Amino acid sequence: MTDISHDRLLIIDFGSQVTQLIARRLRELNVFCEIHPFNTVDDAFLKDFNPKAVIFSGGPSSVFAEGAPMPPQSVFDLGVPILGICYGQQVMMQCLGGKVERGHGTAEFGRAFVAPTQNKLDVLEGWFLTEKEQVWMSHGDHVSEIAPGFEVYGTSPNAPFAITGDAARNFYAVQFHPEVHHTPNGARLYENFVRLAGFKGDWTMRAYREEAIAAIRAQVGDAKVICGLSGGVDSSVAAVLIHEAIGDQLTCVFVDHGLLRKGEAEEVVTMFRDNYNMPLIHADEQELFLGELDGVSDPETKRKIIGRLFIDVFQKHATAVGDAKFLAQGTLYPDVIESVSFSGGPSVTIKSHHNVGGLPEKMGLKLVEPLRELFKDEVRALGRELGLPASFIGRHPFPGPGLAIRCPGEITREKLAILREADAVYIDQIRKHGLYDEIWQAFVAILPVRTVGVMGDGRTYDFACALRAVNSVDGMTADYYPFTHEFLGETATRIINEVPGINRVTYDITSKPPGTIEWE
Ligand code: XMP
């Protein structure tokens, strides 16, 4: 398939909510890893995967439960280093002849402190920065007797076997979660582990790109693929990657619902059609969307109308492409549900974030999601690797319903036109002041009120607008951006001078919660 040869680490997932963070820590070390649910890992799989090291994730189960998740015993005969985490530690001990005890009043959740024992272990080199290293625990059962060959290297009040290891076999097991933020020195453990395992740290975005291309070709064969392009980072990177893999078997559909920002449609179309020579359907459906939104002011009704029309329009154009078998989406790792299904057979239960919700089922399409294993910043790195312009990669998020939810009350073409101009001036100001990349998202909302003003010698009666700028990590919580008064004053003056129709500018200083980022 691909001649990329890099060492592979296998993460056997027992269902922990934070398994993906293990992958994250390893990616930061340029180690290639794949997460596979325990019930898909058997002897044949292990032989085929040929891991250079294995990590057992944590998980919600108890080794005492009937049908408790277990790895194949043959994993211990591979002769490769293994690291067990939390439930993974208990599994390791159970399999290798140790004992696990049910947690009766000895459960530990949250912060705990692990102290070193007299024993020394390479994998812990540089780990104990303090006498008591903070770790994050989340377990009910605990190991009560370690397996033959193991020693204890760290203890916590409720986990006497917090860090255990068998240095001869390179098997290590910890009761806590080194992958989470609340184990501040946790990354060190992974670093030492992969170093001991002999990883060269050669897994880069270039390698990912080639792997992903091979995987897309293998999945799609000679079938046609359609991709809804929004102009956002995720769908753009997905489209460019897939195009590189299968060329003109991919057709992108860009729906212009009339709710885009100034120059946005041209920018997207030019970039993909002219720069990438990609088959692109530019569906100009402004009349349809704006017609159906006419007179609608309720936010949820707006969203529902837009969502429904989007699916109809996408379906119409996708059907015109011919017999597409796949729908490409820029689903990211955080969109993929963390846990695996233990009862539902070997398949992983995922929650796909349907950018064009409901379409795959409706049209009988299979999904191609080449970014499913990446975090947002990795998608940006991949975009850079693929040569997408920096201006595209660094764009602020833009919601599917577009300007409709930045225009509280009734949407009119007049208001949209004013909003586009005001937004363009605001973003221009932010760029000129070198703040664009410091801000997570910034935009203007046009308010459904007119206010009285005085310009020159005359009276004005125009719309008021609100500037919004927030910092956030994931959009779930946010705080307003602390612009200087000079910046705000200058921006207000520019908007009022340059945008006919607006005579008052306010700055929204609401955090989320209690507010939301968008106004509707
Ligand atoms: P809120 O307003 O909920 O927004 O605080 C959080 C983030 O999500 C974006 N957003 C959307 N993105 N479709 C999208 O693709 C939507 O319907 C949608 N609504 C909000 C919003 O811009 C912010 O980044």
* Protein residue whose Cα sits closest to atom 18 of ligand 1: 399
pLDDT of residue 336: 56
Tell me what the mean pLDDT of segment 7-19 comes to: 90
The residue type found at 461 is: Y
How confident is the model over 141-176, as pLDDT tens digits?
A: 888 899 999 999 999 988 899 999 999 999 999 999
For ligand 1, is residue 73 a contact (CB within 6 Å)? no
pLDDT of residue 317: 85
Confidence of residue 416 (pLDDT cuts 50, 70, 90): very high
- pLDDT at position 360 over 80: no
Nearest to 500 by CA among 465, 462, 466: 462
For ligand 1, is residue 517 a contact (CB within 6 Å)? yes
For ligand 1, is residue 475 a contact (CB within 6 Å)? yes
- pLDDT at position 198 over 80: yes
Give the number of the atom of ligand 1 that is nearest the alpha carbon of residue 518: 2
The alpha carbon torsion through 59, 60, 64, 68 (nearest 10 deg) reads -60
Tell me what the mean pLDDT of segment 296-305 comes to: 93
Sorted by sequence, the CB contacts under 8 Å of residue 184 that are 6+ apart come out as: 134
What Å distances lie between residue 492 and 32, 461, 489, 507, CA to CA? 49, 16, 5, 9
Confidence of residue 348 (pLDDT cuts 50, 70, 90): very low
Nearest to 239 by CA among 285, 279, 282, 283: 279
* Protein residue whose Cα sits closest to atom 6 of ligand 1: 475
Report residue 496 CA to chain centroid gap. 38
Instruction: Say if residues 9 and 53 touch (Cβ distance below 8 Å).
Output: yes
346 or 235: which carries more pLDDT confidence? Answer: 235
Between the CA of 158 and the centroid of ligand 1 the distance, in Å, is 43
Tell me what the mean pLDDT of segment 311-339 comes to: 78
| 250-264, 284-298, 378-392, range with the lowest pLDDT | 378-392
Tell me what the mean pLDDT of segment 377-388 comes to: 92
For ligand 1, is residue 400 a contact (CB within 6 Å)? yes
Percent residues over pLDDT 90 in the chain: 65
Rg (CA), the chain: 27
CA 413, 414, 415, 416 dihedral sign is positive
Active site residues: 86, 177, 179
294-309 in b/e form (b: 16+ CB < 10 A) is: eebeebeebbebbeeb
How confident is the model over 457-472, as pLDDT tens digits?
A: 899 999 999 999 999 8
Tell me what the mean pLDDT of segment 495-508 comes to: 98
Give the number of the atom of ligand 1 that is nearest the alpha carbon of residue 405: 19
For ligand 1, is residue 477 a contact (CB within 6 Å)? no
- Best mutation site among 354, 518, 519, 520 for ligand 1 pocket (most ligand atoms within 8 Å of CB): 518
pLDDT of residue 365: 87
pLDDT of residue 74: 97
20 or 85: which carries more pLDDT confidence? Answer: 85
Burial class of residue 343, CB neighbours in 10 A (0-12, 13-18, 19+): exposed
pLDDT of residue 359: 65
Tell me what the mean pLDDT of segment 268-287 comes to: 92
Between the CA of 399 and the centroid of ligand 1 the distance, in Å, is 5
Structure tokens at 511: 């955090």
